[in-house]
Amino acid sequence: MGHTTAPVYTTLQQRLDRMPTGAPDRPELRRILELLFTPEEAALAAEIPSLISVHRLADRLGRDRAELDATLTSMAARGLVLDLEHRGQRWVSLAPVVIGFFEFTFMRVRDDAPMEELARLFHTYLFDDPGHTFAQAVFRGSVQIGRSLVREEALPDQPPSEVLDWERATTIVGEASTVAVALCPCREHARLLGLACDAPLRTCLSLGGAAEALIRADLAERVSNAEGLTILAEAKAAGLAQTADNVQRDVGYICNCCGCCCGMMQAIRSAGLHDAIVPSNWVADADLGDCRGCLHGCVDACPAEAIARVDSQGQGRRKYWAVVDPDRCLGCGVCVDACRFEVREMVPRARRSFTPETTLDRMIAMAVERGKLGDLLLDTLDGAGPAAVARLLQHLERSSLGTALRAVEPLRSVFLRSLLAVVHAGGARLPAS
């Protein structure tokens, strides 16, 4: 007789799938949920909106606040929910699959879960699917979770002024209010499967409020800004690419990624989703007249497989060239350091990449692209209340009317359609947040 999933886990899967990054239903995911959540925790998780105060959640569910707080603390320690303190209240949100409980499951060595089984299940769910179901759900739009950071050492000696602070890894880490480090979850996941490369493990940097939350949950270790910069430098020396939270303000993390283990890189390399990481505003270039087309160097170093060794066909002194595909280049600058003959350089990209200002901007943009804004609006109203929904609508106000109307179509709401039409006609203003 085959395994039967309890209905509570199906409900939780459906709740996760309503998030902007999605969680397509597959047997592996349901089994993962069974291993990570007790039935009681799964039922609770399915009731948690995008963000809600613990006291409001307790009142809504008719539960004792102290008992609920203790349960949520236990879940946060296992990376199943995210919590934060704001104005003397504790707030909580359900962790998505990514960036969420996949990463939190493997950010430390643990003995409280069947880690080898979880590693196999996650591998099958995330990567070993001919249809790339999960990758398609997460990365199908142009607005993504992560963006590439160009390594400043690879830039021209006098970089132009358009290199902004939120584009510089050293500035992000050096000026963060809090810095924490954990194991790279992708390489730890690969290690449990016997597939890890030899890149360093202690490289996953979290910053600011995200770092504080992970430290409270004992998922990451607090370090100084100086130590964070040392970890960043060591990761660069190991040939790792820097991928950051795709926002301009309050960057929450910087990953140090290899091409072989990183989930986002695998979406590019294996699933052909070349927009899975937003490129930096730089692109790799080279003087092909001096390029040796060598067997080892930039071609092997490129984590996105954006450089190919091709026959020069008699167009130069060299038989082979290493040619960059600008549409696949992440603009990370790893190839510049890898080139032994110093012919690689980074040049400004012709068109700058879009980077949302805040996490809310990114969530809205992702929800609009993926047809899930209705879920996000209802989820926000259910948790954070009307003021937060007003902020969502203000963000929609700044988009085109057609985009805004398509975004709210899943709600089938005459009220919202009428409201947006009036706002875009200039006849009304939304309430202040």
CATH number for 93 = 1.10.10
Residues 102 and 210 in one domain: no
Neighbouring CB atoms inside 10 A of 18's CB total 16
Q: Measure the CA–CA gap between 312 and 293, rounded to whole angstroms.
A: 9
Confidence at residue 402, expressed as pLDDT on a 0 to 100 scale: 47
Same domain (yes/no): 162, 244? yes
Structural domain includes residue 140: yes
In a domain, 342, yes or no: no
The verdict on residue 352 lying in a domain is no
Q: What are phi and psi of 384, to 5 degrees?
A: -90, -15
Residue of 327, 56, 49, 278 whose CA lies nearest to 146: 278
Q: Based on the domain organization, do 156 and 183 belong to the same domain?
A: yes
**What is the residue-wise DSSP string for 222-284?**
EE-HHHHHHHHHHHHHTTPEEEEES-SSS--EEEEE-TTT-HHHHHHHTT--TTSSB--SEEE
324 in a structural domain: yes
For residues 30 and 5, the answer to whether their CB atoms sit within 8 Å is yes
**The last residue of a domain, from among 269, 296, 319:** 269
How distant is the alpha carbon of residue 352 from its chain centre? 20
pLDDT at 138 (0 to 100): 93
Whether 68 maps to a domain, the answer reads: yes
DSSP string, 308-328: EEEE-TTSSSSSEEEEE-TTT
Instruction: Give the residue from 127, 155, 186 where a domain finishes.
Output: 127
Helix (H, G, I), strand (E, B) or coil at 38: coil
For residue 430, the model assigns a pLDDT of 39
> Which amino acid belongs to residue 273?
L
Within-domain flag for 35: yes
DSSP lists the bridge partners of residue 322 as: 309
Beta-bridge mates of residue 345? 285
> For the chain, what is the domain count?
4
Measured distance CA(135)–CA(22) in Å, rounded: 10
Cα dihedral sign for 235, 264, 113, 48? Answer: positive
Residues 123 and 190 in one domain: no
Q: Answer yes or no: is 337 within a domain.
A: no
Same domain, 314 and 208: no
Residue type, 404: A
Task: Mark whether 296 and 252 lie in a shared domain.
Answer: no
CB distance 262 to 129 below 8 Å: no
Residues 6+ apart with CB under 8 A from 253: 99, 204, 205, 206, 207, 210, 244, 245
Tell whether 298 is covered by a domain: yes
DSSP state of 304: T
For residues 164 and 248, state if they share a domain: yes
Per-residue tens of pLDDT for the chain, all 433 residues: 456 779 999 999 999 999 999 999 999 999 999 999 999 999 999 999 888 899 999 999 999 999 999 999 999 999 999 988 877 889 999 999 999 999 999 999 999 999 999 999 999 999 998 889 999 999 988 889 999 999 999 998 755 556 789 999 999 999 999 999 999 999 999 999 999 999 999 999 999 999 999 999 999 999 999 999 999 999 999 999 999 999 999 999 999 999 999 999 999 999 999 999 999 999 999 888 788 888 789 999 999 999 999 887 766 666 888 899 999 999 999 999 999 888 999 999 998 888 988 888 888 888 878 878 778 777 776 666 666 666 666 666 555 544 554 554 544 444 445 544 544 455 444 333 3
Provide the residue count of the chain.
Answer: 433
Cβ atoms of 83 and 55 within 8 Å: the answer is no
| C-alpha–C-alpha distance, residues 366 and 420, integer Å | 19
Please check whether residues 150 and 265 belong to one and the same domain: yes
Same domain, 94 and 114: yes
Residues 198 and 121 in one domain: no
Contact 8, 44 (CB under 8 A): no
**Nearest 5 degrees, angle CA 152-CA 153-CA 157?**
95
Residues 193 and 174 in one domain: yes
Domain boundary among 96, 127, 158: 127
Identify the domain containing residue 405 by its residue range: 359-424
Q: Are residues 305 and 245 in the same domain?
A: no
Q: What pTM does this model have?
A: 0.87
